[in-house]
Structure 1
Amino acid sequence: MTVIRQPGVVSTDHVLQVPLDHADPPGEQIELYAREVVAAGRERDELPWLLFLQGGPGGKAGRPLGRDGWLDRALDDYRVLLLDQRGTGRSTPANRQTLPTRGGAAEQARYLAHFRADSIVRDAEAVRRQLLGKDGRWSLLGQSFGGFCTLSYLSLAPEGLREAFVTGGLAGLGTSAEDVYRSAYPRVERKNRAHYERCPQDVAAVRRIAEHLRAAPARLPDGGLLTAEAFQALGLLLGTGTGSQTLQYLLEEAWVRGVSGFELSDTFLAGAQGQLSFAGNPLYAVLHESIYGQRTVDTSGTRWAAQRVRAEFPAFDVDLALAGDDPVLLTGEMIYPWMFDTDPALRPLKEAAELLAERGDWPDLYDPARLAVNEVPVTAAVYHDDMYVDTADSLETARAVRGVRTWVTNEWEHDGLRVSGGAVLDRLIRMARGEV
């Protein structure tokens, strides 16, 4: 067992084996990694545990550098467990390098079908029993997709929880992938309009780059292809607190004069790659739409819902915008099938992703009847006009789950937990204690 000391914190590694398929406990096992973090000097204190479930899907837990961000506030009261969800980080990885060892696309898709929220919850329960014992209970903090997992936890194993905090992650209990994107595109358009109002010079800057890429897609440093549509995907930034500024600064350095005239700069291409590449979290792309798959909601499969629904919103058609005077709109948290052609990290996984998109018999992730009689206290931050998670869905879910108290705020964007210096988590903790 590895113990590491950093400024203000002591962390301990935990590794255990869990079934790939929890319905088959003796079957194939995979490795699960979690990092226990406690305030320095409190290693032997009897502190309550707080499990953190990261956003995603496909996101590993953060790597603390000390008492930083929300963790600083959490360590005042808790012993924190940062779980690398299955397939991510130091848990058994699932990516272009490892998945082909499973066999062909069909075998890969069957394997990946075990990487959704229901499996993550059962993994967490295995960890809880090992660390806290059968009857121990812990608190849960779920950010974004981690909030989706929290709803699954409350549906599948609420006996393991003493309380739950959710930040930007109250999913629609009966919302299909089509529903998600049909409501998302208008929110993304509003974020675009707000950015262009703040940075009017970016209207021309984005058009110029889109025109250039429509005529000649650019090669990224990793060999990926930056097409006009791939460039539009930089709109993912606009849902975060400083994303608009990050985009502005990236666009400022887009051009350099070379021997043949103006061309996209290496600085810009490297920056775009840093935002667009899925090399570090391929499961985000491969599994993204499947996190909405539930057989009682939609049996037809997600079938690249973001791509299909996009046709209903011509304002995002780059060619229409370039043919007229409208600004080129950037997209948001959408995964498109062409990404598996342009991104080297995704190309080997294209066939498996297609099979997952066609699957229509996904097990349900939520139990509305059980949630209606929930006894676990839940406090949730709902970000007004959150670009990634529909506010109306979140509030409807809050009404459907017994014991949920919401804090609706426009002070923060979707990344409020990460950037608020602990203020968002502090508010939820104080709400749970009846202090606000």
Structure 2
Amino acid sequence: MPQAMVPGSHPSTTVRQPGLVLTDHHFDVPLDHKAPDGERIRLYAREVVATDKTGADGRARPELPWLLYLQGGPGFGADRPVGRSGWLDRALDEYRVLLLDQRGTGRSTPADRQTLPLRGTPEQQADYLAHFRADAIVADCELIRRRLTGGAPWTVLGQSFGGFCAVSYLSHAPEGLAAALITGGLPGLDADADAVYRAAYPRMERKTLAHYGRYPGDADAARRIVAHLAEHEEVLPDGSRLTAESFQQLGILLGSGDGSHRLHYLLEDAFTPTPGGPRLSDAFTEQVAGVLSRAGSPLYTLLHESIYAQDGRATAWSAHRVRAEFPAFDPARALDGPDPVLFTGESVHPWMLETHAALRPLRRTAELLAERTGWGPLYDAERLARNNVPVAAAIYHDDLFVDTAHSLRTARAVRGLRTWVTDEFEHDGVRAGGRRVLDRLLSLVRDA
């Protein structure tokens, strides 16, 4: 099949999978959209079309509308599809789908411990990464949209942080949107990082206690692991150090529909006999490394708190500071009394820059971003109050990662936004729910 060319982009390669036609697109965009003639970075996106929606030339039929998918994170590349399944299967019934690797992720000028030193000093790296927030992602999307659609608006589907980006899109470039669909990603419009984490730690505790209610033996298993880590140094296969605090980060699994079960199976294989006594098994540490590693997604740590920064103040390791207000999360309490080990979720801490191997080379860069001031607004409350774009949002009841009360306040503040509040799914509902979640959101925006 010949290569397709898009004005202002690079040559695109097209391949086939069963039921799908996949086309690669590359775009050069400004690093700083306020300086469009300055440095440029290259973005990657994959167009996905159902084979029965293509013409004789193998390309998408020209009347087929676009749906842009924005991944959660920040710091993760878009889904890599293998055939038709889940929400993508439903989307392909009527859209051509664009899976965008947001700047710094996947194949879009990746930013990690290997590439960031090319930027120069940690100060230069931090200045560079300050351009990687939702406002810049929206500006990227608008340049791409005009190149791909001929100026026609498209529909955006935002999962988690992708939903944050969708609300920024509604704030800054609503003319580019035919509709906005949001899953587990309605941000608090004025909730700073401290407010986010003050709401998050109680949820983390509830999720942990619910897990122990389902698997009572896991409370003893977690206590035993913490006691072992207090006496022994354990290094994961990727070179990261496993401490009691980093062990608690396995609670991130509790944010997915099957996460409690996965955590249980992980804990039951923790120890193995050795000539020197029981140690953490290789099977356990390998799985732990897979959950905790930030090698492929360092921006998930470096930029995480900046997604809540809008008032000019430094985030200053907000999750770490706020954790001190919740002493029940001190793992030592489980060794000194009957308190259980509480797992944590999506929180970042300065000690991660030492324990996590992939973050060590970026320590100073992370510190500078945590100290950075002058963060500008990401949302426009007045414009959202006048919104005319059809918007629907799935809000997952007691979502581990996004506070339900914050999401509901935002829903009330966005004109015309329709909500589906459900406890059927956890944060990964758009994946776990197959076609149903996207189908429900499309019905809402269409008043079906």
TM-score, normalising length: structure 2: 0.95
Aligned pair partner of 1:106 in 83, 104, 123: 123
The one-letter amino acid paired with 1:28 is: E
Given that residues 313 and 375 in structure 2 are in contact (C-alpha distance below 8 angstroms), is that contact kept between their aligned partners in structure 1? no
Residues 269-418 of structure 1: pairs in structure 2 closer than 5 A: 269-295=285-311, 299-418=312-431
Residues 173-322 of structure 1: pairs in structure 2 closer than 5 A: 173-295=189-311, 299-322=312-335
CA RMSD of the aligned region, Å?
Answer: 0.8
Residues 75-94 of structure 1: pairs in structure 2 closer than 5 A: 75-94=92-111
CA-to-partner distance for each residue in 1:217-259, whole Å, 9 max, x for gaps? Answer: 3011111100110000001111110000000000111111111
- Asked if 1:53 is matched to 2:64, the reply is no
Aligned pair partner of 2:168 in 152, 173, 178: 152
Q: Please state how far the C-alpha of 1:300 moved relative to its aligned partner.
A: 2.9
The one-letter amino acid paired with 2:38 is: G
Secondary structure class of the residue paired with 1:379: strand
CA-to-partner distance for each residue in 1:67-90, whole Å, 9 max, x for gaps? Answer: 011100100111100000000111
- Asked if 1:433 is matched to 2:440, the reply is no
- Asked if 1:40 is matched to 2:57, the reply is no
Question: CA–CA distance in 2 between the matches of 1:106 and 1:407?
Answer: 43
- Asked if 1:422 is matched to 2:435, the reply is yes
- Asked if 1:129 is matched to 2:140, the reply is no
Residue in 1 that maps onto 2:90? 73
**Structure 1 ranges of 4+ moved more than 3 A:** none
The one-letter amino acid paired with 2:212 is: Y
The one-letter amino acid paired with 1:138 is: W
Secondary structure class of the residue paired with 2:263: helix
- Asked if 1:13 is matched to 2:38, the reply is no
Question: CA–CA distance in 2 between the matches of 1:7 and 1:335?
Answer: 40
Question: CA–CA distance in 2 between the matches of 1:405 and 1:225?
Answer: 45
Question: CA–CA distance in 1 between the matches of 2:381 and 2:43?
Answer: 29
The count of residues paired between Structure 1 and Structure 2 equals 431
Secondary structure class of the residue paired with 2:357: coil
Question: CA–CA distance in 2 between the matches of 1:253 and 1:71?
Answer: 35
Given that residues 188 and 387 in structure 1 are in contact (C-alpha distance below 8 angstroms), is that contact kept between their aligned partners in structure 2? yes
* Structure 2: gaps (5+ residues): 1-11, 56-60
Given that residues 217 and 228 in structure 1 are in contact (C-alpha distance below 8 angstroms), is that contact kept between their aligned partners in structure 2? no
Question: CA–CA distance in 2 between the matches of 1:306 and 1:217?
Answer: 25
Given that residues 177 and 293 in structure 1 are in contact (C-alpha distance below 8 angstroms), is that contact kept between their aligned partners in structure 2? yes
Question: CA–CA distance in 1 between the matches of 2:231 and 2:351?
Answer: 18
Question: CA–CA distance in 1 between the matches of 2:221 and 2:203?
Answer: 22
Question: CA–CA distance in 1 between the matches of 2:221 and 2:435?
Answer: 36
The one-letter amino acid paired with 1:423 is: R
Identical residues among aligned pairs (%): 63
* Structure 1: gaps (5+ residues): none
Residue in 2 that maps onto 1:3? 14
Q: Please state how far the C-alpha of 1:421 moved relative to its aligned partner.
A: 1.1
Given that residues 69 and 157 in structure 2 are in contact (C-alpha distance below 8 angstroms), is that contact kept between their aligned partners in structure 1? yes
